[in-house]
């Protein structure tokens, strides 16, 4: 999984950038390769930002269609993932704002389908032996309790390996603002997840 990284390679050496430039030159098969290469990243990002029970596939498809439509005007200013995530994140934001009345994440569930109530994240520790599947639900629920911009900043930084500058570019804000978002997000997540962490280590 990603950590904070700096973009070390020039854009022209980025695989996605190369494929976009090939597409610009008329090689349409490059777009199919682009989709294959980056579809997993797009899906995972959308899932972590939106939470479960959201139209992730529809949004991911629309994101790639927008990449296709922008092929003639595309200019490689950074890594392709930054470009893709900017498009995808805007779609996710529209989805979130359209679902204001709906809770972002459903109740996390254990492997046997029992519901972990939200208050479980703040007090009672889960039962011993929580498996990976439990953790996914717990983490999703914890992420869902963050404001959308904090959640997005953390997802881009931790899971997608974007640099502070790249996160700022995707979110349309400053690096200083991103640092603040990350600090608040991680503080809140520690509060929410610490009981589970301690229970697992007991």
Residue numbers at the binding site for other proteins (CB under 8 A): 1, 3, 31-32, 35-36, 39-40, 43-44, 46-48, 56-57, 60-61, 64-65, 68-69, 132, 135-136, 139-140, 158-159, 186, 189-190, 193, 196-197
CA angle in degrees (0–180, nearest 5) for 183-185-188:
105
Please say which residue, 1 or 112, places its beta carbon nearer to other proteins. Answer: 1
* CB of 60 vs other proteins, minimal distance in Å: 7
Please say which residue, 35 or 93, places its beta carbon nearer to other proteins. Answer: 35
* CB of 113 vs other proteins, minimal distance in Å: 18
In angstroms, the CA 192 to CA 201 distance is: 16
Is the C-alpha dihedral spanning 28, 33, 38, 43 positive or negative? positive
What contacts 48, CB < 8 A, 6 or more positions away? 140, 143, 151, 155, 159
Please say which residue, 36 or 117, places its beta carbon nearer to other proteins. Answer: 36
* CB of 56 vs other proteins, minimal distance in Å: 6
* CB of 199 vs other proteins, minimal distance in Å: 12
Residue with tokens 């629920």: 141
Please say which residue, 12 or 123, places its beta carbon nearer to other proteins. Answer: 123
Q: Show the 3-state SS of 103-155.
A: CCCCCCECCCCCECCHHHHCCCCCCCCCCHHHHHHHHHHHHHCCCHHHHHHHH
* CB of 98 vs other proteins, minimal distance in Å: 20
């Amino acid at each position: 999984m990603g950590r904070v990284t700096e973009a070390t390679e020039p854009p022209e050496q980025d695989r996605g950038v190369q494929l976009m430039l090939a597409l610009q030159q008329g090689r349409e098969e490059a777009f199919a390769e682009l989709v294959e290469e980056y579809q997993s990243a797009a899906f995972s990002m959308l899932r972590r930002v939106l939470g479960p029970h959201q139209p992730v596939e529809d949004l991911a498809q629309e994101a790639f269609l927008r990449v296709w439509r922008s092929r003639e005007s595309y200019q490689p200013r950074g890594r392709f993932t930054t470009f893709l995530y900017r498009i995808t994140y805007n779609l996710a934001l529209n989805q979130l704002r359209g679902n204001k009345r709906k809770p972002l994440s459903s109740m996390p569930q254990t492997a046997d389908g029992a519901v972990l109530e939200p208050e479980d994240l703040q007090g009672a520790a889960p039962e011993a032996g929580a498996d990976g599947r439990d953790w996914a639900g717990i983490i999703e629920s914890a992420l869902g309790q963050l404001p959308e911009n904090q959640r997005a900043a953390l997802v881009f930084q931790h899971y997608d390996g974007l640099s502070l500058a790249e996160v700022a570019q995707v979110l349309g804000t400053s690096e200083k603002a991103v640092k603040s978002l990350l600090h608040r997000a991680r503080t809140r997540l520690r509060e929410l997840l610490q009981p589970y962490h301690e229970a697992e280590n007991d």
